[in-house]
Amino acid sequence: MATVSKAVNGRYGVAPETVDRVLSVVAELGYESSLIASSMRSRRTGVIGVLVADFEPFSAEILKGVGQALSASRYDLLAYSGSHGTAEGWERRSLSRLSGTLIDGAIMVTPTVVNVSTDVPLVAIDPHAGPADLPTVECDSFGGAHQATRHLIELGHSRIGFIAGRTDLRSSIARDAGYRRALVNAGLPVDPALVGSGSYRQDAVRVAALEMLSRLDRPTAIFAANDISALEIMKVAAELGLDVPQDLSIIGFDDVPEASAATPALSTVRQPMQTLGAEAARMLLSLMQGETPAATHLKLPTRLVTRGTTAPPA
């Protein structure tokens, strides 16, 4: 049994003809060692884990990027979605369940907690607010939000709403700040009635958008903290009989593939999601080799993409 293990794994100390014999039988039987059982003993598996709450458009893009960066390496990629029930702390749970055994390193996407203790290297994409001593990869949310809001102002809008995202994410807070800064810079007041909380959840966005757009002094433009929220606002606007962009301009954030597929195509702030994933993978790889990466807090640039949902106010 031990000999078979050595032969299969190419360990030193087995007679060449024994190796041949073992491998031929292995091939004949179609045997594959159980990843689980071997990981249990050896602690090294050659598998990298990506922990996500759901497979929604954003994490799907991240996954594509991680996969590309890893395709040249010898690592397999395992994506795990285990947010069931526990809205918070899913990544802690997933991590304890997988790490130490199944995966050699992990990437968390939009985690709900600041710190997690693990025995494996860990990188966070779009990290939690608060002082993370974790390596992180994110985009320039402040700059993107600022640019989006300023663009709306330059179009002539002065009543500009904002639907905020998950307030526990650093990126969401920065988008909120970027929005406010742009208003202030333009000498425009920040009306609390024009700031809704969406939490990146469609139901919450719907409620907030419905309320904001039913006001007599409704905004003529809304900036949403992500595309999913913006897409939901488009739906609400349609139901309310508001024409986009005639009666209401909308800008999202992310530029997930669904944004450009919408009708009209969504104006948004593009963040390089696949690059985010690829950079996180590269950082993780170097961490796993015991190196200290040059930068452990990457911030990638964003870019405004104007499409069909933005226009001057009527």
Which residues of the shown chain bind a second copy in the complex (CB under 8 A)?
A: 30-37, 39-40, 54-57, 60-61, 63-64, 66-67, 71, 74-82, 84, 92-93, 96-98, 100-102, 256-258, 260-261
Q: How far is the CB of 91 from DNA (least distance, A)?
A: 17
Stretch (H or E) spanning 42: helix 35-42
Query: What does the binding site for DNA look like in residue numbers (CB under 7 A)?
Result: 1-6, 8-9, 11, 13-16, 18, 33-34, 37-38, 40-42, 100-101
Contact call for residues 186 and 127 (beta carbons, < 8 A): no
- Which of 308/312 has CB closer to a second copy? 308
Provide the CA 299 distance to its chain's centre, in angstroms.
Answer: 13
3-class SS of residue 1: coil
Structure tokens at 305: 């993409």
Residue 102 contacts which entry, DNA, a second copy, none (Cβ below 5-8 A, type-dependent): a second copy
Q: How far is the CB of 249 from a second copy (least distance, A)?
A: 21
* Sheet of 160-164, strands arranged across: 195-197, 160-164, 221-224, 249-254, 267-270, 303-305
Contact call for residues 39 and 101 (beta carbons, < 8 A): yes
Q: How far is the CB of 215 from a second copy (least distance, A)?
A: 33
Q: How far is the CB of 23 from DNA (least distance, A)?
A: 12
Residue 11 contacts which entry, a second copy, DNA, none (Cβ below 5-8 A, type-dependent): DNA
- Which of 101/136 has CB closer to DNA? 101
3-class SS of residue 216: coil
Preceding peptide of 264 cis, ω within 30°: yes
- Which of 93/181 has CB closer to a second copy? 93
Residue 77 contacts which entry, a second copy, DNA, none (Cβ below 5-8 A, type-dependent): a second copy
Distance, in Å, from the CA atom of 4 to the CA atom of 235, rounded to the nearest integer, reads 61
Residue 2 contacts which entry, DNA, a second copy, none (Cβ below 5-8 A, type-dependent): DNA
- Which of 4/276 has CB closer to DNA? 4
Helix pair angle (57-71, 227-239), 10° resolution: 150
Output b/e per residue, 206-221; b: 16+ Cβ within 10 A. bebbeebbeeeebbbb
Q: Using alpha carbons only, give the angle 174, 52, 97 rounded to the nearest 5 degrees.
A: 125
Residue 71 contacts which entry, DNA, a second copy, none (Cβ below 5-8 A, type-dependent): a second copy
Q: How far is the CB of 84 from DNA (least distance, A)?
A: 17
- Which of 220/267 has CB closer to a second copy? 267
Residue 257 contacts which entry, a second copy, DNA, none (Cβ below 5-8 A, type-dependent): a second copy
